[in-house]
A and B are shown apart, each in its own frame.
Chain A
């Protein structure tokens, strides 16, 4: 049984088909890039894995379970927006994480927050957009989860922070976890990926090991992406 199984998932919003019979099996021990331009269905797929959206057809399982309390215990999710109560401080938000997630490593979170120069006693709403994103990522990555679902983790941050985030993802890597990074900034994440999945208009058009792509096609994943998604 694969850690994540996506069985012919279709999602329709009215007449719009956001996902079209997506089928994927993702094993543990790898970092997967979910790559596609805006509107290709990346966020929709991640939301379905979190149980925030219900598929129109097909189903998904994590450790053999459909999204529910059981999967939520082991899934760490970084949403594409700020979802935390923003009147709270970094410290208070760490309290919440500690209360609800058994796998939350408080010390690790504090170390990361300090490394990134985030004031633990500042209310989140007073932080800049980039700092908010960093704080959310610290909270998510400080969990020892089995599945990490990171929706655009490097979208709005500066290059130095981007490096820090990627290093955090690498250092957090363990053989038991699967990390899914959704992004359209491929050149930045390319070197940390095991597998890449290309989503185009709600369909999986490629699922292959990153190094295999480089070997076979003699070009970077980024370059291949630009070819596949040429306008």
Chain B
């Protein structure tokens, strides 16, 4: 897994996005123990404080939880994971719809095009 940071966005929010993506795509499985802050920071080539801050935010969102002595784990709660998937799907749809609207497609056009595309790739 490669980390790649863009210029104008805070690194900690980019880490949150990347980690969220990894959890949603089960690169980290539900209940799996996460590497230590230091190891994650080294792997990403970022400041450990920044990594710590991002993980704390993920914890606040309920995507990860920490156990006092043994470290941080990916949540096992299906409700949270399901909500995460829905949130991500909504986000991608928005981006996708945005682009299509820009080239002049209406909501109906988009729905039709999606249906057609799904049939085509089947």
Measured CB to CB, the residues of A under 8 A from B are: 29-31, 163, 166-167, 170-171, 173, 191-194, 210-212, 214-215, 217-220, 222-223
B49 at the interface (CB under 8 A from A): yes
Measured CB to CB, the residues of B under 8 A from A are: 5, 7-12, 38, 41-42, 44-50
B44: chain A residues at CB < 8 Å are 191
Whether the Cβ atoms of A214 and B50 lie closer than 8 Å is: no
Whether the Cβ atoms of B7 and A223 lie closer than 8 Å is: yes
Whether the Cβ atoms of B38 and A191 lie closer than 8 Å is: no
B12: chain A residues at CB < 8 Å are 211
Instruction: Given the known inter-chain contacts A170-B45, A191-B47, A194-B50, please indicate yes or no for A210 contacting B38, CB distance below 8 A.
Output: no
> What is the distance, in angstroms, from B74's C-beta to the closest C-beta of chain A?
23
A217: chain B residues at CB < 8 Å are 8
Whether the Cβ atoms of A163 and B8 lie closer than 8 Å is: no
Whether the Cβ atoms of B48 and A170 lie closer than 8 Å is: yes
Instruction: Given the known inter-chain contacts A170-B38, A170-B42, A171-B42, please indicate yes or no for A214 contacting B8, CB distance below 8 A.
Output: yes
Q: How far is the CA of A167 from the CA of B83 in the complex (A)?
A: 35
A212: chain B residues at CB < 8 Å are 10
A218: chain B residues at CB < 8 Å are 8-9
Known: A191-B47, A211-B12. 4 other contacts (CB 8 A): A166-B45, A167-B45, A171-B42, A219-B8
Instruction: Given the known inter-chain contacts A211-B10, A211-B11, A223-B8, please indicate yes or no for A194 contacting B49, CB distance below 8 A.
Output: yes
> What is the distance, in angstroms, from B97's C-beta to the closest C-beta of chain A?
24
> What is the distance, in angstroms, from A150's C-beta to the closest C-beta of chain B?
15
Q: How far is the CA of A194 from the CA of B49 in the complex (A)?
A: 7
> What is the distance, in angstroms, from A187's C-beta to the closest C-beta of chain B?
9
B49: chain A residues at CB < 8 Å are 29-31, 194
A167: chain B residues at CB < 8 Å are 42, 45
Cross-interface CB contact of A214 among B11, B38, B41, B47, cutoff 8 Å: B11
Instruction: Given the known inter-chain contacts A170-B38, A191-B5, please indicate yes or no for A215 contacting B45, CB distance below 8 A.
Output: no
Whether the Cβ atoms of A211 and B50 lie closer than 8 Å is: yes
B46: chain A residues at CB < 8 Å are 170, 191-192
Q: Which residue of B lies closest to A221 (CB)?
A: B7
